[in-house]
Structure 1
Amino acid sequence: MNLSTVLLQVEQLRVSFDGKDVVQGVDFMIRAGEKLALVGESGSGKTITALSLLGLAQGARTSGAAHFATASGAVDLLALSEQQLRGIRGQDIAMVFQEPMTALNPLFTIGEQIAEVLQEKQAVSRAEAAQMAINLIADTGIDDPARRAGAYPHQLSGGQRQRAMIAMALALACSPRLLLADEPTTALDVSVRQQILDLLAELQVRKGMAILLITHDLHLVRRFADRVAVMERGHIVEQGSVSEVFAAPQHRYTRELLDSLPVRDVAPLLPDAPLVLELAGVGVDYPVARPGWRGWFSRGRFAAVQQVGVQLRRGETLGVVGESGSGKSTLALAALGLVPYAGDVRVGGVAWTGRSRTDVSLRKKVQVVFQDPFSSLSPRLTVDELVGEGLDVHCPGISREQRQQRVVDALATVGITETQFPGMLERYPHQFSGGQRQRLAIARALVLEPEVLVLDEPTSALDVTLAQQVLRLLQGLQKAKGLSYLLITHDVAVVEAMAHRVVVMHQGRAVETGLISDVFSAPQHPYTAKLLAASR
């Protein structure tokens, strides 16, 4: 084996927990300066593969070989002791973890956390480490690095936190030969995602390092990687250059992943379809602390939504697209009557009053499906209790048998039946997969037979195949029941697949509105053009 060009050669890697193999004899290699993407859905074993190379998969038993070319010669990563691996992790290999909010310590500033690594690894003084931390933060493109070094993780945006994680990885291994990036753009907006990709590509060239990118995002792979390895259930089923694999996939699973991209399937809107939801001149603001001594006596106001007007007709999907902080979720809360607002919001011609007893009839007409079904469904309630909870409030007069039948019918509508899931009504959310939990959340909304569903990022927490299944379900429900959707998302592909019309939100304002075909083919606002360019 010649490691003059091969940086890492993995041979027959097996990883098991409690005797069960989760990675089953995988082989792949990374050349010096190359970008390899390891692609697969949740549970495929891709993250465990990367963690096992650095001895970070706690409780795992590994076998096989992982020959890595260090500056002083080739070593087998799997045969090294923990002390030897610490030297590799501190010099040659760095890792960027998936969720920076959980990987960063909330009790210390970003600068303190990076400086701590520098002091440990490079034996520099506290003052030197603080300045080096600021320099590393600047290297990742964060504006005003000296001030940001004094910020805590919660005071940074998602993109800034991810950049801080990259800075910490560079602090851990100042000139890494290999960077392992585990889902570095998950949950980021499309333009921020592109910025992180551009940053990684720039750092790769500047530092001459290779990158192993772990992801389930095929669009990201197409734009970023040189080669791709596709992983399914612990096996690498296909690998090759990105152009070859994407143009002519050989394995069934690779074809499934590529075919799981959202497909447009929208029923034409009836010309006389009545209005079911109207927002006119809607504004929402929140109190914020004022800087300096003025904050002792009064609070300022932050305008989250400013003078937005939209209409939604029966059987129509209106996509509200924008980045985090654009105001789209706040607009959805106003449509649901859940936050105080200025302007006018009407459901079927009737305005919210802000009084729960008066608004109860409107709440039955407008239901919501949240982004993360695992956190939106109570883990302490059974499926029967979760799905039927709304009936207890809105239909207290129905019998127990009628209630249970409506719950069963709602579950059957979303494809969950007793035949497929014996004892389903007594099960709890954790006993279902991510896609199945999202179906439960949809059934919970449908059981009241609403006219409008507010869909808040309904697929962003799902793998591509599960997301495609949920989108198809929603498309079919709209055709069968004439439902109207207010679709909140930052995913342009989902809007293109689902929506009749689109509203583009930026800094609290609706900067562009119109038919999907018009807005996405010829955007009039620069922000819309930027959003579309970053997503393609």
Structure 2
Amino acid sequence: MKQSLLEVKGLRVAFGDKEVVHGIDFQIDQGEKLALVGESGSGKTVTALSLLRLAQNADVTGVANFAGEEGGAARDLLALPESKLRGIRGKEIAMIFQEPMTALNALYPVGDQIAEVLELHQALSARAAHEAAVQLLADTGIPEPARRARAFPHQLSGGQRQRAMIAMALACRPRLLLADEPTTALDVTVRAQILDLLTDLQRRYGMAVLLITHDLNLVRRFADRVAVMENGHLIEHGAVATVFDAPRHPYTRKLIDSRPQRDVAPVTARQAEPVLAAKSLRVIYPVPRPGFAGWFRKGEFVAVRGADFRIAPGETLGVVGESGSGKSTLALAALGLLKHQGELDVAGRRWNAGGASDRALRRVMQVVFQDPFSSLSPRMTVEQIVGEGLTVHAPELDAAARRTRSLDVLGQVGLTEAQFPALLDRYPHEFSGGQRQRLAVARALIVDPKLLVLDEPTSALDVTIQKQVLGLLQRLQRERGLSYLLITHDVEVIRAMAHQVIVMKDGAILESGPVGQVLDAPGHPYTQKLVAAALAD
């Protein structure tokens, strides 16, 4: 019989007079993988953070006994002094945070941040720690790990930042890994690599894993047991096969049934003037050259290689590929935020003409970013965030008219004052992840654009909220005749949303065409690999 590594009894977490976790019990055995699932706001992340007392301003009660090393006495994590707990964090219990852009320090290269953990807990020299950090990055599948170790977080793609976080968490070979959405930003092929890596390390070192996730396919593939949370209560738990094959609670059945559903209208204006068209689009980044030659001239990194595409009114073009394939760079170029070569026309007009011409085009095309937590200013109210575009593109409106327009568009995305009293005066942190994404959609819609660039719009959302947001986007497309440029690594989202799809790798378009043709009968080996990985997942 396995020894219990962590035993949690009566865990309660409250913020002020509001209790968000209501006396839950669970345990994790040595070498076991337990998945904690539930919607945004269910309390699963707060539960994990509370075990290491990382939930700020939280009142945490209960018992969390963590077994000592080599048969030592168990320690109650919730009762340990901070000095003792600091020695456990990162060494015996490590955590992979959900949002790497906010968890990583923007002022230091990622290699230095990983090396710092090794120097602190394993007393390695600076050189040895750096070499180990490079190897950890290589183990998580990051290409050119030595170069990436010198990069700052903003210089990495979303998937690469997530892999850097995983490397940092695994640095000291912890006995328990708290993994909060560890594969959220990863494409399907890299997700499989990371799962295989975690599984291999877990078996090799007897590491236990508490996996917090909204991805039920991930749970099926990775976990031994699953515990389901709703509104701070643990409502069902058991072996993965038992819970998935015969769920007892209606909420569990709701989660299992929440797969993206296709509900898009056919495109009737395919021959009309495209909302967005690109021809031979190239994006090149300058990069340092090694040695003496770098003093005089920089090298080049071609991020997008001669892309051709067009998006008709009311059409969705899906762009799929692995992290670093160039799909987000393509989106930034389409938005006029990166210098590019080739032709790029928005509603029949050329980008980068300068001045008022570009400003007018920005009203035609708006963007919804991958991570609403970092794309919404924490210092601005909902009224300021949503209404900001009107101050630029509709300066003739007074404050009362902007307020009315803001409430109207918020209602269109499913946020009303009946649900949220004083809605316009609230701040982003007062909303769940799915609600923040609705705010981001409202901010984009308020200037009546013709096209939305959707950069991984559902990657950070649980399955039920993902289904709701995709349904919202499908409804808005039908009602407004919107076009979408959809950037994602999720093949299922492409199936549900796109009319046309292009597949990218290393900056090049490998395959393109109608979504059914490309995904049901892929011609390129790389597309076949993506589709096969999605089916296996």
Q: Into which bin does the TM-score normalised by the smaller protein fall?
A: 0.7 to 0.9
Task: Supply the AA of the counterpart residue of 2:212.
Answer: I
* Alpha-carbon offset, residue 232 of structure 1: 2.1
Aligned positions of 1:174-213 closer than 5 A: 174=173, 176-213=174-211
Are positions 1:49 and 2:55 aligned together?
Answer: no
Separation of aligned partners in 1, 2:143 and 2:325: 20
Task: Supply the AA of the counterpart residue of 1:442.
Answer: V
Aligned positions of 1:108-257 closer than 5 A: 121=121, 147=146, 151=150, 154=153, 165-166=165-166, 168-172=168-172, 174=173, 176-257=174-255
Are positions 1:485 and 2:481 aligned together?
Answer: no
Separation of aligned partners in 2, 1:121 and 1:383: 43
Task: Tell me which residue corresponds to 1:494.
Answer: 493
SS in structure 2 opposite 1:33? coil
Separation of aligned partners in 2, 1:216 and 1:473: 19
Q: TM-score, normalised by structure 1?
A: 0.85
Aligned positions of 1:425-440 closer than 5 A: 425-440=424-439
Separation of aligned partners in 1, 2:104 and 2:288: 25
Contact 2:137 2:149 in 1 (8 A): no
SS in structure 2 opposite 1:253? helix
* Alpha-carbon offset, residue 100 of structure 1: 5.0
* Alpha-carbon offset, residue 305 of structure 1: 1.2
* Alpha-carbon offset, residue 476 of structure 1: 0.6
Separation of aligned partners in 2, 1:473 and 1:319: 17
* Alpha-carbon offset, residue 317 of structure 1: 0.8
Task: Tell me which residue corresponds to 2:361.
Answer: 362
Which one is further off, 132-141 or 431-440?
132-141
Change in 2 beyond 3 A, CA 1:299/1:423? same
Which one is further off, 488-497 or 428-437?
428-437
Separation of aligned partners in 1, 2:380 and 2:79: 47
| 1:160-206 deviation per Cα after TM superposition (whole angstroms, max 9, x unaligned) | 6655555555554x5x5433333322323332222211101011222
Separation of aligned partners in 1, 2:78 and 2:357: 69
Change in 2 beyond 3 A, CA 1:22/1:136? same
Task: Supply the AA of the counterpart residue of 1:30.
Answer: I
Separation of aligned partners in 2, 1:364 and 1:144: 39
Task: Tell me which residue corresponds to 1:295.
Answer: 294
Separation of aligned partners in 2, 1:110 and 1:347: 37
SS in structure 2 opposite 1:275? coil
| 1:49-70 deviation per Cα after TM superposition (whole angstroms, max 9, x unaligned) | 3344445556643223536375
| 1:195-230 deviation per Cα after TM superposition (whole angstroms, max 9, x unaligned) | 211101011222233322222222211211111111
Task: Supply the AA of the counterpart residue of 1:205.
Answer: R
Separation of aligned partners in 2, 1:132 and 1:283: 36
Separation of aligned partners in 1, 2:125 and 2:380: 54
Separation of aligned partners in 2, 1:87 and 1:392: 51
Change in 2 beyond 3 A, CA 1:494/1:63? same
SS in structure 1 opposite 2:67? strand
Change in 2 beyond 3 A, CA 1:453/1:161? closer
Change in 2 beyond 3 A, CA 1:308/1:137? closer
Contact 1:110 1:148 in 2 (8 A): no
Q: TM-score, normalised by structure 2?
A: 0.85
Which one is further off, 385-394 or 507-516?
385-394
Task: Supply the AA of the counterpart residue of 1:11.
Answer: K
Task: Tell me which residue corresponds to 2:60.
Answer: 61
| 1:346-391 deviation per Cα after TM superposition (whole angstroms, max 9, x unaligned) | 2333333522223444333322223333443445555444434434
Separation of aligned partners in 2, 1:410 and 1:120: 50
Task: Tell me which residue corresponds to 2:263.
Answer: 265
Separation of aligned partners in 1, 2:63 and 2:72: 19
Change in 2 beyond 3 A, CA 1:401/1:35? closer
Are positions 1:509 and 2:508 aligned together?
Answer: yes
Contact 1:337 1:354 in 2 (8 A): no
Aligned positions of 1:412-431 closer than 5 A: 412-431=411-430
Task: Supply the AA of the counterpart residue of 1:410.
Answer: V
Separation of aligned partners in 2, 1:360 and 1:157: 27
* Alpha-carbon offset, residue 335 of structure 1: 2.4
Are positions 1:71 and 2:73 aligned together?
Answer: no
Task: Tell me which residue corresponds to 1:448.
Answer: 447
Separation of aligned partners in 2, 1:328 and 1:205: 35
Contact 2:11 2:25 in 1 (8 A): yes
SS in structure 1 opposite 2:470? helix
Task: Supply the AA of the counterpart residue of 2:361.
Answer: L
Are positions 1:328 and 2:316 aligned together?
Answer: no
Change in 2 beyond 3 A, CA 1:362/1:182? closer
- What is the identity percentage for the equivalent residue pairs of Structure 1 and Structure 2? 61
* Alpha-carbon offset, residue 446 of structure 1: 2.5
Contact 2:63 2:76 in 1 (8 A): no
Change in 2 beyond 3 A, CA 1:179/1:363? closer
Are positions 1:308 and 2:307 aligned together?
Answer: yes
Task: Supply the AA of the counterpart residue of 2:332.
Answer: L
Separation of aligned partners in 1, 2:401 and 2:141: 59
Change in 2 beyond 3 A, CA 1:54/1:273? same
Task: Supply the AA of the counterpart residue of 1:487.
Answer: L
Separation of aligned partners in 2, 1:237 and 1:430: 26
Separation of aligned partners in 2, 1:141 and 1:335: 29
Which one is further off, 111-120 or 212-221?
111-120
Give the RMSD, CA atoms, in angstroms: 3.5
Contact 2:284 2:302 in 1 (8 A): yes
Separation of aligned partners in 2, 1:359 and 1:156: 28
| 1:254-306 deviation per Cα after TM superposition (whole angstroms, max 9, x unaligned) | 22322333211111222655232221111122222222222211222222211
Change in 2 beyond 3 A, CA 1:115/1:149? farther
* Alpha-carbon offset, residue 453 of structure 1: 1.8
Task: Supply the AA of the counterpart residue of 2:238.
Answer: G
Separation of aligned partners in 1, 2:258 and 2:36: 17
* Alpha-carbon offset, residue 48 of structure 1: 3.6
Task: Supply the AA of the counterpart residue of 2:44.
Answer: K
Change in 2 beyond 3 A, CA 1:75/1:508? same
* Structure 1 gap ranges (5+): none
* Alpha-carbon offset, residue 472 of structure 1: 0.9
SS in structure 1 opposite 2:74? strand
Contact 2:90 2:169 in 1 (8 A): no
Separation of aligned partners in 1, 2:127 and 2:397: 70
Task: Tell me which residue corresponds to 2:467.
Answer: 468
| 1:389-430 deviation per Cα after TM superposition (whole angstroms, max 9, x unaligned) | 434444445677665554443333223344444444454544
Change in 2 beyond 3 A, CA 1:361/1:505? same
Change in 2 beyond 3 A, CA 1:69/1:244? farther
Separation of aligned partners in 2, 1:150 and 1:144: 9
Separation of aligned partners in 2, 1:149 and 1:391: 40
SS in structure 1 opposite 2:279? strand
Task: Tell me which residue corresponds to 1:32.
Answer: 30
Separation of aligned partners in 2, 1:113 and 1:396: 45
Task: Supply the AA of the counterpart residue of 1:331.
Answer: L
Contact 2:269 2:312 in 1 (8 A): no
* Structure 2 gap ranges (5+): none
Separation of aligned partners in 2, 1:237 and 1:482: 42
Contact 1:216 1:464 in 2 (8 A): yes
SS in structure 1 opposite 2:458? coil
Change in 2 beyond 3 A, CA 1:396/1:79? closer
Contact 2:14 2:20 in 1 (8 A): yes
Contact 2:390 2:447 in 1 (8 A): yes
Task: Supply the AA of the counterpart residue of 1:372.
Answer: D
SS in structure 2 opposite 1:354? coil
